[in-house]
Structure 1
Amino acid sequence: MEIKELFINGKWESKERTYALHSPYSGDVIANISMADEADVKKAIEGAKTAYETMKVMPAYKRSEILLNVVQLLRERKEELARIVALEAGKPIRTARGEIDRTIATYQFAAEEAKRIYGETIPMDAAPGGENRLGFTWREPLGVVVAISPFNFPVNLVAHKLGPAFAAGNTVVLKPAEQTPLSALLIAEIFKQAGLPDGALQVITGSGRELSDALITDERVKKVTFTGSAEVGKLIKSKAGLRKVTLELGSNSGLIVEPDAPLEKIVPRCVEGAFSFAGQVCISLQRIYVHDSIYNDFCKRFIEQTKKLTAGDPLDEKTDISAMINLKETERIESWVQEANEQGADIALGGKRDGSVFPPTVLLNVKKDMAVSCQETFAPVVSIVPYHELDEAIHMVNDSSYGLNVAIYTQNILHAIHAAKKLESGGVIINDIPTFRLDHMPYGGVKDSGYGREGIKYAVEEMTELKFVTIKTAF
């Protein structure tokens, strides 16, 4: 079995210590992955710091050109990369192709944004003593960025870290999730082929627990960008000190369905939002609050639509839902569903795992303090709850420690704006599911859902420092 190496300073480095990477669906070993140690992390950070001297003076058109080269190479290798994602993450192949399409768009946005990093002039004479002075700002890159990425979008969420970092002139030490290193290593190969200077991208594989302190506490690191659990995100923020930090930490996304919503049109979309990639999406639709006048009809339609989904091998073109990322997670969600059932919730569909595959599961009569409601399931489980008044539904959505994306279906513009103002979240999606995301829109949460914003333009701002300059023009 081939040993996958670390990517340090533009070269591949093997390690004696490795771990076996298993397919989430079949359990087969698909590769052996090199395990970095603290010395490798230090070497990578030092190499990134050295490469920063080149990146920070590289003109914007050149940074843009490199990113456009990546776009072209991704187009050429789309199917190869999609199959890797299906193998290592258990993502259905059609869904994996969709992720690569989004990744291509993300790097395209980054290439464009590299040429749009603007400053502004400041009217210095707006204050006494500011006469005969010119004031202006520009944005400068930070330096070495540590990027820690999750398993669920192993290509696109990496792009949301690498794209803006390189657009701004930074360098990156990337630590991919232990389950999904293969796609990150292929991306490193693509960036090298695209002309990125050696050392500007380092890829460190291995144990997050072993490597995290070395990655986030090194004084040469100027920013940490992390996507993952709230627990780990809070730990990173506590250790990062005065470094810049972006944390995207998940949610238990809620949706409100008003009585005027066209159920025949929205139910298929809701099913997609709840069960795409086995619900292992930060903004997966987890809680649905439906007006009591249409509740029974909605539940019936939702369950019937869910029954149409096909579970199976992620490489099968017909598969809609496949294995969860590992057996431990499958067992966890099964225990949560059983616990909810024992506490009074009704299992309207699903609820019993088949090996590492957990079927699409619909729960009714769910109470707000059940784990399946108040915590992040990160699984193909959705709760449907009735409400009578809109403010009641808004209160139930807000009664959560999370606030990433939430949504409402309504044809009443006053209700839509009222909900948008009252809902406590980083994003409010009107007339679509909370799982909706485009890669250039601002994306991030409040409360335990995170800190800072992604979306290429907004991430570039978070990966640069504002510098102010003033000139006295007359003596």
Structure 2
Amino acid sequence: MSSILEIADFRAEGLRIGGAKVRTARTIDVINPYSGERVGTVGMASVEDVRRAMDIAKAYVPTLSRYERSAILNRAAALLRERTDEASNIITTESGLSKKDSIYEIGRVADVLNFGANEALRDDGQVFSCDLTPHGKKRKVITTRDPLLGVITAITPFNHPMNQVAHKVVPSVATNNRMVLKPSEKVPLSAYYFADLLYEAGLPVEMLQVVTGDPREIADELLIHPHVDLITFTGGVAIGKYIASKAGYRRMVLELGGNDPLIVMDDADLDKASDLAVQGSYKNSGQRCTAVKRMLVHEKVAAEFTERVVAKTKAWRYGDPMDKTNEMGTVIDEAAARHFEKVVNEAVAQGARLLVGNAREGALYSPTVVDRVRPEMTLVREETFGPVSPIMTFKDIDEAIRMSNGTAFGLSSGICTNRLDDATRFAKELQVGTVNLWEVPGYRIELTPFGGIKDSGLGYKEGVQEAIKSFTNCKTFTLPW
């Protein structure tokens, strides 16, 4: 595989604590999944580093007006859009995501910044009259939303290196909060780039501290430090449940995994449905909590649908992430690719049929289609976080709903049908946070509520508006009227 980075592109990053780039004796290497090159290093924070970041954040009292917060976020959005190529290169080189996907991600991050800027200007108070009942009084109740008294801990995953960070940081800035962020040690360069962009746009450095390190060493301090009021986490179920067990009497926003279905009914336009199937499975290398993880297809159309999915999968270009003609790059590392290979082989050994793919070279894993899949197979019972399309069949809508609901997850879903009665049943009966008609499960805009139920999440939803609610305390003030 060819070299991607010249030596000038190497990024040696320190922690961001109190406005300083803190160099540490220990560092973490950042490796390009495609080339195997070391593309950067980041500081490895100690518990003392985390405590110092917490103390600085807690001691600072933000005084930014709504206008000032909005201006900072809009300025950061403009800077990011101007630097799309540079910023997307960082995402691609540290994560292996294709340039197509990383450029798209930069657009999403800029949207988060702009939406946050708009929400910072919105008056979020309410007014209630109190003379509504026979025993009421001539008074008014006015609500306000205040920043948290303590610090927000944010922990982000690898799959959207900058957008996941933006969804934590932007609502914090919009609400005048203080945050200590720990990005994934696999993709930390994007987080530091984003933080520096906000500082350049005028954000007081005390409002955002960034620490990287070994989770086994510093994670507990980020969870149980007495300054922490709220923990917002996106990632796997096991870690989410661990956080819940450690957090104690603290607010939590846990956005966890998914096992999202694309349900194809017998009346569906199969060309359109198969387009959604491959896009939902392979965009972002299949590494999305809302990727299509299961294709539930009516038995009457399964053969034709499968044929179309196989043909479109074979046409899906993958390889060098920096090649702009490729639609897919690598997965996050070789270990992940080996896992996908393993669970597909296991399913085939149990009676599934491999139709295309399951080829691996390092962290490069080909788009893969498997049919004759059964619900008890690991491939679909657990979340397969990669570019695999498992096809399962059902006889009627009742069975489709049972199959969809028959997992521990409940994040999102996509529905392909033109019958309003079926669409309505799915909307009412699927045990998920989102039902998208004629769209991939992951479709949303950065403003709208996002989150799941069951093992897919706990607490408030994400999305800029919902996060702003969870990042604030509601206070009521009453007065004679």
Q: State the shift of 1:253 in Å.
A: 0.5
Residues in 1 aligned to 2:450 and 2:442: alpha-carbon distance in whole angstroms? 11
SS of residue matched to 1:282: coil
Q: State the shift of 1:448 in Å.
A: 0.4
Provide Cα deviations, 1:322-362, integer angstroms capped at 9, x if missing partner.
22111111111111111111111111111232222111111
SS of residue matched to 2:140: strand
Question: What is residue 457 of structure 1 aligned with on the other side?
Answer: 465
Partner of residue 95 from structure 1, selected from 71, 79, 101: 101
Residues in 2 aligned to 1:89 and 1:389: alpha-carbon distance in whole angstroms? 40
Q: State the shift of 1:3 in Å.
A: 3.0
Residues in 2 aligned to 1:269 and 1:135: alpha-carbon distance in whole angstroms? 48
1:48 aligns with 2:54: no
Residues 272 and 37 (structure 1), Cα distance of their counterparts in 2 relative to 1, 3 Å cut: same
Residues in 2 aligned to 1:234 and 1:264: alpha-carbon distance in whole angstroms? 40
Residues in 2 aligned to 1:128 and 1:158: alpha-carbon distance in whole angstroms? 50
SS of residue matched to 1:284: coil
Partner of residue 33 from structure 2, selected from 15, 24, 32: 24
Q: Is the contact between residue 171 and residue 464 of structure 2 (CA under 8 Å) also seen in structure 1?
A: yes
Q: State the shift of 1:123 in Å.
A: 2.5
Q: Is the contact between residue 255 and residue 397 of structure 1 (CA under 8 Å) also seen in structure 2?
A: no
Letter in 2 for 1:153: H
Letter in 2 for 1:300: E
Q: Is the contact between residue 117 and residue 139 of structure 1 (CA under 8 Å) also seen in structure 2?
A: no
Partner of residue 195 from structure 1, selected from 202, 209, 219: 202
SS of residue matched to 2:392: strand
Q: Is the contact between residue 86 and residue 315 of structure 1 (CA under 8 Å) also seen in structure 2?
A: yes
Q: State the shift of 1:32 in Å.
A: 1.8
Partner of residue 277 from structure 1, selected from 271, 280, 284: 284
Residues in 2 aligned to 1:470 and 1:438: alpha-carbon distance in whole angstroms? 36
Question: Aligned runs of 1:392-411 on 2, under 5 Å?
Answer: 392-411=399-418
SS of residue matched to 2:121: coil
Q: Is the contact between residue 28 and residue 185 of structure 2 (CA under 8 Å) also seen in structure 1?
A: no
Partner of residue 329 from structure 1, selected from 309, 312, 336: 336
Q: State the shift of 1:472 in Å.
A: 4.0
Partner of residue 242 from structure 1, selected from 244, 249, 256: 249
1:217 aligns with 2:206: no
Q: State the shift of 1:189 in Å.
A: 1.1
Provide Cα deviations, 1:20-41, integer angstroms capped at 9, x if missing partner.
2111111111112210010110
Letter in 1 for 2:277: C
Question: What is residue 342 of structure 1 aligned with on the other side?
Answer: 349
Letter in 2 for 1:59: S
Residues in 2 aligned to 1:159 and 1:2: alpha-carbon distance in whole angstroms? 21
Residues in 1 aligned to 2:216 and 2:420: alpha-carbon distance in whole angstroms? 48
Provide Cα deviations, 1:174-207, integer angstroms capped at 9, x if missing partner.
1010111111111111111111112111110111
- Output the aligned Cα RMSD: 1.3
Q: State which drifts further: 349-358 or 208-217.
A: 349-358
Unaligned residue ranges in structure 2 (runs of 5+): 1-9
Q: Is the contact between residue 25 and residue 314 of structure 1 (CA under 8 Å) also seen in structure 2?
A: yes
Partner of residue 133 from structure 1, selected from 119, 127, 139: 139
Q: Is the contact between residue 262 and residue 277 of structure 2 (CA under 8 Å) also seen in structure 1?
A: no
Q: Is the contact between residue 185 and residue 203 of structure 1 (CA under 8 Å) also seen in structure 2?
A: yes
1:467 aligns with 2:467: no
Q: Is the contact between residue 19 and residue 35 of structure 1 (CA under 8 Å) also seen in structure 2?
A: yes
Q: State the shift of 1:171 in Å.
A: 1.2
SS of residue matched to 1:126: coil
TM-score when scaled to structure 2? 0.95
Question: Aligned runs of 1:70-469 on 2, under 5 Å?
Answer: 70-127=76-133, 129-142=135-148, 143-451=150-458, 452-469=460-477
SS of residue matched to 1:125: coil
SS of residue matched to 2:326: coil
Q: Is the contact between residue 3 and residue 14 of structure 1 (CA under 8 Å) also seen in structure 2?
A: no
Residues in 2 aligned to 1:79 and 1:314: alpha-carbon distance in whole angstroms? 14
Residues in 1 aligned to 2:42 and 2:171: alpha-carbon distance in whole angstroms? 27
Letter in 1 for 2:398: D
SS of residue matched to 1:40: helix
Q: Is the contact between residue 404 and residue 449 of structure 1 (CA under 8 Å) also seen in structure 2?
A: yes
Alignment: residue pair count: 470
Letter in 2 for 1:396: M
Residues in 2 aligned to 1:156 and 1:352: alpha-carbon distance in whole angstroms? 29
Of all paired residues, the percent bearing the same amino acid is 38
Residues in 2 aligned to 1:412 and 1:293: alpha-carbon distance in whole angstroms? 16
Residues in 2 aligned to 1:32 and 1:176: alpha-carbon distance in whole angstroms? 14
Letter in 1 for 2:56: G
Residues in 2 aligned to 1:209 and 1:316: alpha-carbon distance in whole angstroms? 36
Residues in 1 aligned to 2:286 and 2:426: alpha-carbon distance in whole angstroms? 25
Q: State the shift of 1:95 in Å.
A: 0.8
Residues in 2 aligned to 1:185 and 1:4: alpha-carbon distance in whole angstroms? 8
SS of residue matched to 1:107: helix
SS of residue matched to 2:365: coil
SS of residue matched to 1:242: coil
Q: State the shift of 1:122 in Å.
A: 2.1
Residues in 2 aligned to 1:260 and 1:349: alpha-carbon distance in whole angstroms? 26
Partner of residue 71 from structure 2, selected from 65, 72, 75: 65
Question: What is residue 36 of structure 1 aligned with on the other side?
Answer: 45
